[in-house]
Amino acid sequence: MTEDEIESYKKDGYIIKRQLFSKEEIDLLYEVATDDTVTKNSFDLNDQDGKKTKLTLWFTAGDDSFGLMSRCKRLVESVQDLVGPGEVCHFHSKIMQKQPKVGGAWEWHQDYGYWYKNGFLYPEAMISVMLALTEANRENGCLQVLKATHKMQRFEHNFIGEQQGADPDFVKEAVKTSELIYCELKPGDVLFFHPNLLHRSEANLSENARWSVISAYNLSYNIPFREKNLSCITPVRVVPDEAILESGKKEVTKADFLKKEAEITLNVK
């Protein structure tokens, strides 16, 4: 990250790095994402209209293609630049599968609105990183953010159907003063965003799928008192950027996948 990008992240709560991953890398990752091992281990979360978004989740960043992506030098160093000093750890990753015509919406929320309930004390030590595997635009339900709302700190979150959303009264006030940004991404673009940034996405009513992978990171000193999994305080074993392509297609281990009940307090957008 450049100094200007770091300052922009601090000011706005997000930054987009265009084409951080190559077409060859995206082709490989998308092939792994659409493999039966991933899709058969996904689960549905319904929006208020009954539309479904499928997601597949895991904690450990291993030696599979997505683990190597989460641990590659360019991504970990970018995270380090944005969250500051400390040992970068991988909290969890998820593959979002917003299918054409049926992919559901997500309510306004903050990631730390969920992670707070896991017992993390320092939101500034955390970050979400979204890599676009397909194009994300207004038509297929790209992520929307309310610029600079990370400075408003954490709002209360409660269940709205099968999702947890931020307190609607606070969201209404935030909308009045914050600029709405549609984070349209091309495959290979990466969106970094603060855990207190309000964001949402609309249903995918287009003919095109919207697939992405989101990795959440944490600094090792931010030890949660309600989270049993240790990946979030285990420093990442960084691999060279070339490792993704050099390893070839490597599927995520089935045993790593989490079920809906285990993941409900994590951020699932």
- As a whole-number percent, the residues of the chain with pLDDT over 90 amount to 76
Q: What residue ranges do the domains of the chain occupy? A: 3-222
* DSSP H or E run through 93: strand 88-98
3-state DSSP percent of the chain in helix, strand and coil, to 5: 30, 30, 40
Which tokens is 256 given? Answer: 């790593």
CA dihedral 84, 86, 89, 94 (to 10 degrees): -20
- Do the Cβ atoms of 147 and 132 come closer than 8 Å? no
Taking 90 as the threshold, does the pLDDT of residue 87 lie above it? Answer: yes
CB 266 within 8 A of CB 157: no
- What's the average model confidence in pLDDT over 27-35? 94
Summary mean pLDDT of the chain:
91
What is the spatial distance between Cα 166 and Cα 111, in angstroms, rounded to a whole number? 10
In this predicted structure, what is the pLDDT of residue 164? 83
Edge-to-edge strand order for the sheet containing 143-146? Answer: 106-109, 199-201, 143-146, 180-183
User: 3-222 belongs to which homologous superfamily?
Assistant: q2cbj1_9rhob like domain (2.60.120.620)
**Among 14-23, 153-162, 165-174, 260-269, whose mean pLDDT is lowest?**
260-269
Q: What's the pLDDT tens digit per position in 128-165?
A: 999 999 999 999 999 999 999 999 999 999 887 677 89
260, pLDDT greater than 80: no
Rounded average pLDDT over 103-128: 94
Cα distance from N-terminal residue to C-terminal residue, the chain:
25
Please count the CA atoms within 13 angstroms of the CA of 215 that sit on its side-chain side. Answer: 25
pLDDT tens digits, 65-83:
999 999 999 999 999 999 9
pLDDT in tens, 117-129: 999 999 999 999 9
Side-chain half-sphere exposure of 177, counting CA atoms within 13 A: 9
pLDDT in tens, 195-244: 999 999 999 989 999 999 999 999 999 999 999 999 999 999 999 999 99
* pLDDT given at position 255: 52
